[in-house]
Amino acid sequence: MTHSENQSFSIKVLSTGDVFEVPANRTMLHVLYENGYEVPLDCSNGRCGTCKTRYVSGEIDHRDTALTEAEKSEYLTVCVSRALSGQVVLDLATPKSAQPVARPVAIVEAPVCVACLNCVRFCTFGAARIDDSLIGVGGIKGAAHIDKDLCTGCGLCAAACPTGAIEMNINTHDQVIDTIHTLNINTLEQPGATATSTDPLAKVMLFACSQCRATAHQVSEQQNLSPERLANTQVVDVPCSGRIDTLQLMHAFESGADGVMVAGCQPGDCYFNTGNLHAAQRVNRIADWLSDCGLRRDQVKMVNLSPGDSQNLAHGLKELALKVSEIDPGPAQGQRTADQPGTAHA
């Protein structure tokens, strides 16, 4: 259904009595965020159910694929669902303030755009286009424009832009890099309780998308605490595996990781349609670069997970740890200090 086929309707918030109009070309999510109501969200396109909100009256046109039939009698997803009746009443808490809340969207710096169309090709939500009225790099006519109402904030375009013209307003490229270095994988406690006690523990950085995040933290915490562990693992949260660019992966090595893993959904299950496919391509590219600069291509690995598949992730991490524990640190990796067990790699 297109915007032109949508009907406008109103939402009323039970706790405050606030009433807002939802125009045909906008969603309840947009309107709520603009008025200070911060509903938890992840995919923004009806696949995850994170934004499910209780409603107390109204006839709902449920457009998500996340809620069960039983849930639909009580909840709706504010990101895609609409009201068939004139008004829907939502059971939401009073917001801290009426100030607009920022939700993740892509932003273009037109003067840096070369109109390469990468963002248009990567965006499966039709949010990116070239606008002829904008002036791009060197004064050329035409630069990318993002329709913020269609943008889900997945970050695929930002990872694909060759000039850095696209940036996310939340979880920016620099913030991801800062997170990688702030985790400071070199200072992890390594008591040396490994399977073979004289071996140092490998250091693994695990990037996890929103669907794999809970499993990633659970497995890494379990493994880090186990006396049988082979690696210490740190997790970097990203909205989608397709948000991870090659520079971010190289920064993981530069920060001292012996191995890097990207956890994404199974093919066909990505909340953002193709993010996991692009992530797999980047992992392969990094593997080629690693071998070009004297490291080993099997120091980087992609694992595709079904929700809650801790067994597959634990197995993948173990395999990676075993491989990287045989590897000498190369030029892209951070220096280890003499009193760290990992020095034995050198």
Q: Point out which residues bind ligand SF4 (CB under 6 A).
A: 106, 108, 113-119, 122-123, 125, 127-128, 144, 146, 151-157, 160-161, 163, 165-166
What residue ranges in 58-114 does DSSP mark as E strands?
Answer: 60-61, 75-77, 82-83, 87-90, 106-108
Contact partners, residue 204, CB within 8 Å, separation at least 6: 231, 232, 233, 234, 257, 258, 259, 260, 261, 317, 320, 321, 324
What's the min distance (Å) between Cβ of 314 and ligand SF4?
31
**Closer by beta carbon to ligand SF4, 113 or else 185:** 113
**Closer by beta carbon to ligand SF4, 153 or else 200:** 153
What's the min distance (Å) between Cβ of 254 and ligand SF4?
24
What's the min distance (Å) between Cβ of 312 and ligand SF4?
27
Q: Decide if 50 contacts 41 (C-beta within 8 A).
A: yes
Taking the C-alpha atoms of residue 298 and residue 284, their distance in angstroms, rounded to an integer, is: 10
**Closer by beta carbon to ligand SF4, 253 or else 272:** 272
**Closer by beta carbon to ligand SF4, 195 or else 280:** 280
Taking the C-alpha atoms of residue 297 and residue 290, their distance in angstroms, rounded to an integer, is: 6
What's the min distance (Å) between Cβ of 81 and ligand SF4?
19
**Closer by beta carbon to ligand SF4, 108 or else 209:** 108
What's the min distance (Å) between Cβ of 162 and ligand SF4?
6
Taking the C-alpha atoms of residue 346 and residue 333, their distance in angstroms, rounded to an integer, is: 11
3-state DSSP assignment of residue 274: coil
